Amino acid sequence: MGRERLSKGRFITLEGGEGGGKSTQAERLALALRDNNIEVIRTREPGGSPAAEDIRELLVSGAVDRWTPMAEVLLNYVAREMHVRNTILPALELGQWVISDRFADSTMAYQGYGGGVDAERIDAVHKATLGELQPDLTLVLDLPLEQGLARAGRRFLEKKMSGEDRYERMERDFHQRLRDGFLAIAAADPARCRVIDAGADVDAVAAAILAAVSEKFGVTF
């Protein structure tokens, strides 16, 4: 599955560790684009299509050691193939813009940097599943580890009640490796990735995101 589209649709992903405010900022970006008469869909990973949402439940709930990191890679890509095929590509082919809360960089960060799976193995699974498909722009919402964990902690009860707290229960060192991983991914691909200071207030983060989108695509907000 390559970059199978000829339309002017754009694919934007928001990435980063826990507590970065990705969902809030994805919604604000979508509203700003719609104000510019751009048709937008919002989606998420794991999930984003009915079958992928079923797999999400397997990944984000249960015991911390429920899966090996490589098993998580494979589960993520089963879900991602369905997400791309059923949600992302159809929207892009219609000329819509797609904003996804997480995509393939999360697998590299969580299972690669966090879980120790070799990057070449993850790349091989990506290419076998999705070919060369990558986002047009990735916004990495970065903030200091303690600040991110504190924010995530305020939402912990809600996630615990929903059963989606598996990653929040992982050790502090895992979350530090996540942050380091996302920053390394962004540094290795500066043409695609922009690091956003997510430690600022919500309005400042939103403004930085709009500036990055404007610079990349020429949209005036």
CATH, residue 74 = 3.40.50.300
Domain count, the chain: 1
Residue 36 buriedness (CB in 10 A; 0-12 / 13-18 / 19+): exposed
Query: Is 122 inside any structural domain?
Result: yes
Query: Is 89 inside any structural domain?
Result: yes
Query: Is 3 inside any structural domain?
Result: no
CA distance 24 to 36: 19
Give residue-wise pLDDT tens across range 138-170: 999 999 887 767 766 655 455 555 557 788 788
Query: Is 102 inside any structural domain?
Result: yes
Give residue-wise pLDDT tens across range 167-184: 878 888 999 999 999 999
Domain that holds residue 106: 11-216
CA distance 6 to 28: 27
Query: Is 165 inside any structural domain?
Result: yes
Whole-model pTM: value is 0.90
Q: Are 185 and 105 in contact (CB under 8 A)?
A: yes
Query: Is 35 inside any structural domain?
Result: yes
CA distance 145 to 133: 30
Helix-helix angle 202-217:22-35, to 10 degrees: 50
